[in-house]
Amino acid sequence: MSSGNAYHGEVGDHFARIADTSPYNAFTDRPAVLDLVGEVAGARVLDVGCGAGHYAEALVERGAVVTAVDGSATLLRHARERVGDRAELRPHDLETPLDFAADGAFDVAVCALVHHHLAAREQLLAELLRVLRPGGRLVLSTTHPTAEWLHHGGSYYDESWVEHRLPDPSLSIRYRRLPLETLVNEWLAAGFTLERLVEPRPLPELRDVDAARYEKLCAEPAFLAARLRRPPS
């Protein structure tokens, strides 16, 4: 993600620590995103805002050739520990163009739980359209607008930046509330075709790990995930 809103220092360490087993990451968002990605054996995949390398690891294990970028040196360190030299890992501020990548360089792009942290969302979408080959797909996930409304209150249509406190009250992350119409219209305006939209439910296995969180995530959406397609010509 952007260097300004990336998970630096203790926040990055916290995220890397919980993402292995979190009900939200391991049991809800990640399975949904990887399902939308589908078959990637031999595909050139760009992992945009790769975090601690969980998606990059899964994509490599599926046979993809992965380039993974993030604005946090902390998270890239964790990603290197996870994937080693099996993927190309590079620092990049996602508020700036993807100038390291040629037009049509990738078959697939994955942008998991990054979009809402960015100010230059339209620029990133335009860049992702550029670096994907014609017919290539972008799989994107973000916080669910309804979840943000339930948590923060006020107007559902509020698009303000918010600070979300982590369990350690000294740590927080910053992101923007975005209603559904803003999200979808930005994707379409960038030139993508919306192929599939998902409100991820948790894996059934979560019931045995955390029954209360499982019931909550089955009743209240936490994330929104989409598979977008660059038109073939």
Q: How does pLDDT run across 83-107, given as a tens digit for each residue?
A: 999 999 999 999 999 999 999 999 9
Residue 225 has phi, psi (to 5 degrees) of -130, 145
Identify the CATH number of the domain in which residue 69 sits: 3.40.50.150
- Residue bearing tokens 């995220």: 15
The answer to whether the beta carbons of residues 113 and 176 sit under 8 Å apart is no
In a domain, 145, yes or no: yes
pTM over 0.95: no
Nearest to 112 by CA among 41, 178, 24, 39: 24
Band (8; pLDDT cuts 50, 70, 90): low
In a domain, 1, yes or no: no
Judge whether residue 44 has pLDDT over 80: yes
In a domain, 64, yes or no: yes
In a domain, 17, yes or no: yes
In a domain, 14, yes or no: yes
In a domain, 75, yes or no: yes
Residue 198 is part of which domain span?
9-229
In a domain, 3, yes or no: no
Q: What does the alpha-carbon distance between residue 230 and residue 63 come to, in Å, rounded to a whole number? A: 22
The contacts of residue 39 (CB under 8 Å, 6+ apart) are 62
Residue 224 has phi, psi (to 5 degrees) of -130, 135
In a domain, 2, yes or no: no
Structural domain total, the chain:
1
> What SS3 state is found at 179?
coil
